[in-house]
């Protein structure tokens, strides 16, 4: 059975969402809009040149992915350590998550996409419920002109464009599907929506104070004392999305390695990569 | 070669082998049969009685004469010794004429009774008959439901010693031929001493590493017929009351045959209940362990205080308590299966009521733990397949261990493991989780929900090219 | 085999460092904070014992002293030899000695502590110890919640509001409670410019107008001797424009002894509202009303 387009689109959606959320303090709404227009140009330019077939690009992508992975592994480790497992040594968290990443990435693209598809039933359901719960807490007076403007618009839009192009490379060339502008429009509008809801619930001041404002908004939610303290479910939800970002990045490295190194040596190279990753995330960034 | 002598030698004069010699004019007819599997009435009426009328027969070609004369449809001319043995062991009576030509007449004795009632796949609505240990009866039960010439069978004789009859059953025109060929090839490759039951074949047809079963066996003819109409293949094994359905998807374990005999809204509800029960069965003890040992902040204060007050006198950590209770439950369940049903109620009263109550009063386990394990255990029994229930058990242990180490993060890791395990599984190269991953919205109308009246009812596209099922 | 080896090694290495049994937690449900002679006085109310049948917790209040919040809480953990568990904190009680510097300390403590949620109630009082010892959180919570909902004479302030107002340099409003054999609500304490000032209960309504947090409240007016006009204001919506406040009230007439007409009722009500609001804001006021109930046409 072939993987259909919808699975790839969904993976792309989760990837961009994960990257946006992890970089929430470096982005703004206007930046997202300009960045997505920029990224459309980038992607079309690259598709025209069929850039993915060059070996140089593959090597470059591998290093880029590696670079991004160290950053994101670090961020995700801190996310888990701060929100789910307090008092736990960070190195064991990053070790477990990278082992599970390796386990899933080893199963191949089809299995990864199928796991994403399965998890998406849960993730989308939880997000819908989240928005429903948040509805009474939306305070439209918090939405003023300040949330659109930003000091560093050029940097933000450029960041966003890079994120989109990066997630484009994790999905589309590997699955041989054609990129459509519609996918990007849906993703960016969802991200703008989530930005708006975060700002609307917390306000600009509180949003900038909290490291995990996308979790804190759910801390406010309680339904007449009956259903409360549901933020852990949402943090698990985000964790799924972050995990898929790691898995697809890891798969990208693994897939491109096959072009340069024979298969039997592949495993040990990947183990070395994991070790360096753990080292980088835990020692360089702290 | 003296056939009679050879059989006597090879069977070492087994005492249920009957030899009888009849002299008919110039010809000698040796009659051989095995008493225990043949019907002596049939032999007397259709063979011996008829032959006794032939005393004055003048013919040169006695074999052909007998072939046409004996009043039975199942009579074969046999050329070689191996086939002779085969037929003899299958309940045929062998007539050896002048030690040259051989006839085999079917005189099999009916060793089993008629169809029995369903035993472990019980439903309220719908037929109650079940497959039995007799190949022809089982085939008959299906043929009675599908009266179509396209219902084809493909037979194999498997097992070096048992020579068990195994046959593939499929509806020509619906099924994809590659599937039949693939299964045939796999069956032909089997090299085994004997096949005692259809479940023996599972490990040869099953290549997936998944803990969850990728093949389903059923005792219900209605379920089997439904599977044929979907484009699946049945595997009938002689002497086995269970029929294998190939391929099987994950969703099949959540469907029962009476889902189709009632209103779809009720069927949808009960299927969702099964899904929820499946999730509860795997995750509930783990969530409890995670809540009480790593993430108490995620429960309301009243619940936290209630848990805390119940756990004051319990000497074990929550994880040990959970494992103890689950093992106790497994012991109870196993003892319930093994002992005779007359003693079953005594065991369940003693084990469930007396021990549980006493354990709580003695302060060994907390009441909430008993509730958690009981709900999880009962939820796990909602699925009809024993193998599926057993796989739930392993998943449950896995998630509990992970959650006791990592709390909610462990549950997340366990979920990833389970999802990967299920996504990676294949049933005869078909995606096990179809139609959920890869997604097919059309098929999901009969997934966890059942949509009442789709305009055109379609078959599963990965099972059949003959798409339209009904309008 | 390698796979399992790695997993087993992993578990041995990590060693379940966040594993904690429920009975090893000290559940703190309220904190009182005051400052005396450059030292913090921390009153900590924690769950000491739970009645097994009714699940009714008995709380104990402990008084500690130290120069920072972190240090006091660490000390407490040593004294009780259990893990301090703040995630279910319900109440923070402070008095007038807590000023900007101390507030910043508190806010920093909670912002940097991922275990806590900042949705707990913050109140101001003069006798912290009595309130923590003699009353239950539920009493205080119900008192403030009901008052806000029914009379609009107080504001339910959570730590979120405190943090937000603190960083936006706006006024911080805290419910002001006293305990003198019984719990009473005495209006609001406003913290601005490093100073607390008291607002009487009746004035709180107009503060609520400015904050657009008005719920229902009652208004009475003596139109003649022993004859009253009772109004129940069901709710109000305030739109803040740059130089104008647009107020829409929804009013229900309960008693109308003088048989006033709709216009007269509106005039009386609007005048009162305008008089009071003009004391605290300089913006232009536009008031619109929808009136339901009995009145003469």
In a domain, C251, yes or no: yes
Q: Which residue has the tokens 């229902």?
A: C216
- On whether both C170 and C224 belong to a single domain, the answer is no
Cα C229–Cα C232–Cα C234 angle in degrees, nearest 5: 155
In a domain, C112, yes or no: yes
Q: By percentage, how much of chain A surpasses pLDDT 90?
A: 8
What is the mean predicted confidence (pLDDT) over B221-229? Answer: 89
- pLDDT score for A241: 92
Say if the Cβ atoms of B318 and C88 lie within 8 Å. Answer: no
- On whether both C87 and C169 belong to a single domain, the answer is yes
In a domain, C126, yes or no: yes
Distance CA B402, CA B352 (A): 28
Domain boundary, last residue among C146, C174, C201: C201
What is the mean predicted confidence (pLDDT) over B127-137? Answer: 86
Residue B409: its chain A contacts at CB < 8 A?
80, 84-85, 93, 96, 239
In this predicted structure, which of A74-78, A209-213, B113-117 has the lowest mean pLDDT?
B113-117
Q: How many Å is the maximal CA-CA distance in chain B?
A: 104
In chain C, the number of structural domains is 2
- On whether both C179 and C273 belong to a single domain, the answer is no
In a domain, C3, yes or no: no
Burial of C10 from C-beta contacts in 10 A (0-12 / 13-18 / 19+): middle
Domain boundary, last residue among C168, C201, C234: C201
Q: Provide the chain C residues 38-97 that lie in CB contact (below 8 A) with chain B.
A: 47, 50-52, 55, 57, 85, 87-88, 90
- On whether both C57 and C34 belong to a single domain, the answer is yes
Distance CA B262, CA B258 (A): 7
Distance CA C284, CA C239 (A): 12
CA dihedral A238, A138, C210, A208 (to 10 degrees): 20
Q: How many other CB atoms are found less than 10 A from the CB of residue A223?
A: 11
- The total number of residues written for chain B in this structure: 471
For chain C, the average pLDDT equals 83
Q: How far is C3 from chain A (nearest CA, A)?
A: 9
Reported as a single tens digit per residue, the pLDDT across A92-143 is 888 888 888 988 988 888 899 999 999 999 999 988 888 888 888 888 877 8
Does residue B403 contact residue B289 with C-beta atoms inside 8 Å? Answer: yes
Chain centroid to Cα B239, Å, comes to: 12
Reported as a single tens digit per residue, the pLDDT across A29-63 is 888 899 989 998 888 888 888 877 788 888 888 88
Q: Please, what sign has the CA dihedral across residues C75, C76, C78, C79?
A: positive
Residue C19: its chain B contacts at CB < 8 A?
293-294, 317, 404-405
For chain B, the average pLDDT equals 85
Distance CA A247, CA A261 (A): 20
Neighbours of chain C (3+ CB pairs under 8 A): A, B
For chain A, the average pLDDT equals 84
Q: Indicate if the pLDDT at residue B77 is higher than 90.
A: no
Strand stretches in chain A, DSSP E: 222-223, 227-228
- pLDDT score for C68: 82
What is the mean predicted confidence (pLDDT) over B298-322? Answer: 84
In a domain, C209, yes or no: no
At B276, is the pLDDT very low, low, confident or very high (cuts 50, 70, 90)? very high
Which of C292, C206, C294 lies closest to C247 in space, CA to CA? C206
Structure tokens belonging to residue A265: 């040596």
- pLDDT score for A286: 54
Does residue B130 contact residue B137 with C-beta atoms inside 8 Å? Answer: no
Q: Pick from A83, A92, A209: which is nearest to C13 by CB?
A: A92
Residue A229, phi-psi category: left (phi > 0), alpha (psi -120 to 50), beta (remainder): left
- On whether both C126 and C260 belong to a single domain, the answer is no
Q: How many other CB atoms are found less than 10 A from the CB of residue A115?
A: 28
Does residue A143 contact residue A200 with C-beta atoms inside 8 Å? Answer: yes
Distance CA A180, CA A185 (A): 9
At B112, is the pLDDT very low, low, confident or very high (cuts 50, 70, 90)? low
Which of B315, B325, B323 lies closest to B404 in space, CA to CA? B323
- pLDDT score for C9: 66
Q: Indicate if the pLDDT at residue B412 is higher than 90.
A: yes
- pLDDT score for C112: 83
Structure tokens belonging to residue B92: 């045929």
Structure tokens belonging to residue A230: 């549901």
Q: By percentage, how much of chain B surpasses pLDDT 90?
A: 10
- On whether both C166 and C283 belong to a single domain, the answer is no
CA distance to A66, A158, A164, C267, per residue, from A171 (Å)? 16, 20, 11, 67
Q: Pick from A2, A115, A229: which is nearest to B423 by CB?
A: A115
In a domain, C9, yes or no: no
- On whether both C66 and C160 belong to a single domain, the answer is yes
In a domain, C117, yes or no: yes
Residue C25: its chain B contacts at CB < 8 A?
296, 308
Say if the Cβ atoms of A86 and C168 lie within 8 Å. Answer: no
- pLDDT score for C8: 66
Interface with B, mutate which of C19, C58, C82, C118 (most B CBs under 10 A): C19
Which of B125, B384, B120, B128 lies closest to B263 in space, CA to CA? B125
ipTM given for this complex:
0.92
Query: What is the SS3 assignment for A222?
Result: strand
- On whether both C57 and C98 belong to a single domain, the answer is yes
3-state secondary structure chain C: CHHHHHHHHHHHHHCCCCCCCHHHEEEEEEEEEEEECCEEEEEEEEEEEECCCCCCEEEEEEEEEECCHHHHHHHHHHHHCCEEECCCCCEEEECCCCCHHHHHHHHHHHHHCCCCCCCCEEEEECCHHHHHHHCCHHHHHHHHHHHHHHCCCCCCCEHHHHHHHHHCCCCEEEEEEEECCCEEEEEEEEEECCEEEEECHHHHHHHHHHHCCCCCEEEEEEEECCEEEEEEEEEEEEEECCCEEEEEEEEEEEEECCCCEHHHHHHHHHHHHHHHHHHHCCCEEEEEEEEEECCEC
At B18, is the pLDDT very low, low, confident or very high (cuts 50, 70, 90)? confident
CB proximity list for A278: less than 8 A, separation 6 or greater: A73, A91, A94, A95, A98
Q: Please, what sign has the CA dihedral across residues B222, B223, B228, B234?
A: negative
Burial of C206 from C-beta contacts in 10 A (0-12 / 13-18 / 19+): buried
What is the mean predicted confidence (pLDDT) over B447-460? Answer: 77
Reported as a single tens digit per residue, the pLDDT across B227-247 is 898 889 999 998 888 899 988
Structure tokens belonging to residue B145: 């439901």
Q: How far is B204 from chain A (nearest CA, A)?
A: 23
What is the mean predicted confidence (pLDDT) over B462-466? Answer: 81
Please, what is the end-to-end C-alpha distance for chain A in angstroms? 45
Distance CA A124, CA C13 (A): 35
Interface with A, mutate which of C18, C83, C240 (most A CBs under 10 A): C18
**Domain boundaries, given as residue ranges, for chain A:** 5-284
Q: Provide the chain C residues 115-154 that lie in CB contact (below 8 A) with chain B.
A: 115, 117
At B204, is the pLDDT very low, low, confident or very high (cuts 50, 70, 90)? confident
Domain, as residue range, for C263: 216-293
What is the mean predicted confidence (pLDDT) over B182-210? Answer: 85
Q: Is C14 on the interface with A (CB under 8 A)?
A: yes
Query: What is the SS3 assignment for A86?
Result: coil
CATH number at residue C266: 3.30.70
Distance CA A230, CA B355 (A): 36
How are beta strands B216-218 and B151-158 bridged, if at all? unpaired
Say if the Cβ atoms of C10 and A96 lie within 8 Å. Answer: yes
What is the mean predicted confidence (pLDDT) over C237-254? Answer: 83
Reported as a single tens digit per residue, the pLDDT across C16-48 is 566 778 888 888 888 998 888 888 888 888 888
Distance CA C143, CA C152 (A): 12
Q: Pick from C18, C111, C164: which is nearest to A87 by CB?
A: C18
In a domain, C18, yes or no: no
Q: Indicate if the pLDDT at residue C5 is higher than 80.
A: no
Q: Indicate if the pLDDT at residue B192 is higher than 80.
A: yes
């Amino acid at each position: 059975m072939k993987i259909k387009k919808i699975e790839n689109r969904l993976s792309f959606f989760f990837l961009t969402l994960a990257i946006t959320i992890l970089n929430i303090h470096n982005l703004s709404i206007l930046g997202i809009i300009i960045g997505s227009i920029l990224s459309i140009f980038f992607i079309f330019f690259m598709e025209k040149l069929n850039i993915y077939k060059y070996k140089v690009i593959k090597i470059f992508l591998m290093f880029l992915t590696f670079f991004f992975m160290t950053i994101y592994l670090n961020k995700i480790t801190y996310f888990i350590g701060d929100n789910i497992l307090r008092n736990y040594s960070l190195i064991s968290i990053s070790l477990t998550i990278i082992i599970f990443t390796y386990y899933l990435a080893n199963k191949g693209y089809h299995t990864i996409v199928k796991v994403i598809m399965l998890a998406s039933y849960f993730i989308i359901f939880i997000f819908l419920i989240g928005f429903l719960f948040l509805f009474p807490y939306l305070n439209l007076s918090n939405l003023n002109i300040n949330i659109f403007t930003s000091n560093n618009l050029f940097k933000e839009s450029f960041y966003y464009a890079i994120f989109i192009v990066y997630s484009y490379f994790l999905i589309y060339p590997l699955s041989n599907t054609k990129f459509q502008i519609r996918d990007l429009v849906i993703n960016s509008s969802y991200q703008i929506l989530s930005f708006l809801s975060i700002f609307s619930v917390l306000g600009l001041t509180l949003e900038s104070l909290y490291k995990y404002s996308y979790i804190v908004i759910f801390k406010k939610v309680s339904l007449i004392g009956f259903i409360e303290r549901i933020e852990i479910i949402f943090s698990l939800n985000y964790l799924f999305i972050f995990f898929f970002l790691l898995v697809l990045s890891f798969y990208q490295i693994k897939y491109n390695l096959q072009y340069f190194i024979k298969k039997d040596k592949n495993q040990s190279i990947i183990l070395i990569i994991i070790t360096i990753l753990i080292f980088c995330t835990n020692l360089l960034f702290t | 070669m003296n056939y009679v002598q050879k059989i006597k030698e090879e069977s070492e004069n087994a005492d249920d082998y009957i030899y009888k010699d009849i002299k008919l004019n110039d010809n000698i007819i040796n009659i051989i049969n095995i008493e225990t599997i043949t019907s002596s009435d049939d032999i007397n009426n259709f063979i011996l009685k008829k032959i006794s009328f032939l005393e004055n027969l003048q013919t040169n070609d006695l074999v052909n004469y007998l072939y046409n004369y004996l009043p039975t449809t199942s009579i074969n001319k046999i050329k070689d010794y191996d086939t002779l043995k085969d037929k003899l062991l299958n309940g045929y009576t062998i007539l050896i004429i002048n030690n040259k030509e051989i006839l085999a007449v079917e005189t099999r004795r009916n060793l089993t009774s008629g169809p029995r009632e369903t035993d472990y796949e019980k439903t309220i609505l719908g037929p109650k008959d079940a497959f039995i240990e007799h190949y022809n009866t089982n085939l008959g039960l299906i043929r009675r439901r599908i009266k179509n010439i396209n219902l084809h069978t493909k037979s194999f004789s498997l097992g070096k010693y048992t020579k068990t009859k195994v046959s593939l059953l499929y509806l020509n025109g619906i099924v994809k031929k590659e599937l039949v060929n693939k299964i045939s090839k796999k069956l032909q490759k089997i090299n085994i001493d004997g096949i005692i039951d259809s479940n023996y074949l599972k490990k040869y047809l099953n290549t997936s590493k998944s803990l969850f079963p990728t093949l389903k066996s059923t005792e219900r003819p209605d379920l089997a017929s439904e599977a044929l109409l979907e484009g699946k293949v049945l595997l009938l094994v002689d002497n086995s009351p269970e029929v294998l359905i190939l391929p099987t998807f994950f969703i099949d374990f959540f469907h029962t045959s009476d889902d189709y005999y009632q209103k779809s809204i009720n069927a949808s509800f009960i299927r969702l209940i099964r899904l929820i029960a499946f999730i509860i069965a795997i995750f509930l003890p783990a969530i409890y362990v995670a809540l009480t040992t790593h993430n108490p902040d995620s429960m309301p204060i009243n619940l936290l205080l209630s848990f805390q007050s119940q756990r004051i006198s319990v000497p074990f950590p929550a994880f040990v308590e959970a494992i103890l209770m689950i093992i106790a439950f497994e012991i109870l369940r196993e003892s319930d299966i093994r002992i005779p049903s007359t003693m079953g109620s005594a065991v369940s009263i003693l084990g469930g009521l007396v021990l549980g109550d006493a354990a709580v009063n003695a302060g060994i386990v907390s009441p909430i733990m008993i509730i958690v394990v009981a709900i999880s255990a009962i939820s796990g029994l909602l699925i009809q397949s024993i193998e599926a229930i057993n796989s739930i058990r392993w998943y449950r242990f896995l998630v509990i261990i992970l959650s006791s180490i990592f709390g909610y993060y462990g549950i997340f890791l366990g979920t990833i493991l389970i999802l990967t395990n299920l996504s990676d599984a294949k049933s005869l190269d078909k995606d096990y989780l179809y139609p959920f991953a890869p997604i097919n919205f059309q098929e999901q109308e009969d997934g966890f929900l059942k949509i009442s009246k789709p305009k055109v009812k379609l078959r599963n596209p990965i099972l059949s090219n003959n798409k339209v099922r009904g309008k | 085999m390698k796979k399992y080896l790695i997993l087993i090694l992993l578990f041995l290495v990590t060693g379940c460092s966040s594993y904690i049994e429920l009975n090893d937690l000290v559940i703190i449900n309220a904190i009182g904070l005051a400052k005396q002679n450059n030292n913090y006085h921390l009153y900590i109310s924690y769950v000491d014992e739970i009645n097994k049948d009714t699940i009714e917790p008995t709380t104990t209040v402990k008084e500690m002293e130290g120069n920072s919040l972190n240090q006091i809480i660490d000390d407490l953990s040593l004294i009780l030899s259990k893990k301090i568990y703040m995630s279910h904190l319900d109440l923070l009680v402070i008095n007038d000695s807590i000023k900007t510097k101390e507030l910043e300390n508190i806010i920093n403590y909670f912002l940097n502590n991922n275990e806590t949620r900042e949705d707990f109630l913050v109140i101001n009082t003069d006798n912290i110890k009595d309130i923590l010892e003699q009353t239950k959180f539920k009493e205080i919570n119900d008192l403030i919640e009901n008052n806000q909902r029914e009379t609009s004479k107080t504001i339910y302030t959570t730590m979120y509001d405190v943090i937000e107002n603190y960083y936006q340099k706006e006024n911080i409003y805290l419910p002001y409670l006293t305990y003198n054999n019984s719990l009473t609500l005495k209006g609001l304490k406003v913290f601005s410019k490093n100073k607390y000032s008291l607002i009487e209960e009746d004035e709180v309504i107009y503060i609520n107008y400015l904050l657009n947090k008005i719920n229902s409240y009652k208004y009475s007016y003596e139109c003649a001797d022993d004859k009253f006009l009772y109004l129940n204001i069901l709710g109000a919506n305030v739109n803040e424009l740059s130089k104008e406040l647009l107020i829409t009230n929804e009013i229900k007439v309960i008693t109308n002894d003088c048989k006033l007409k709709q216009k007269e009722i509106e005039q009386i009500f609007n005048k009162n509202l305008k008089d009071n609001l003009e004391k605290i804001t300089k913006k232009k006021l536009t008031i619109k009303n929808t009136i339901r109930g009995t009145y003469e046409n």
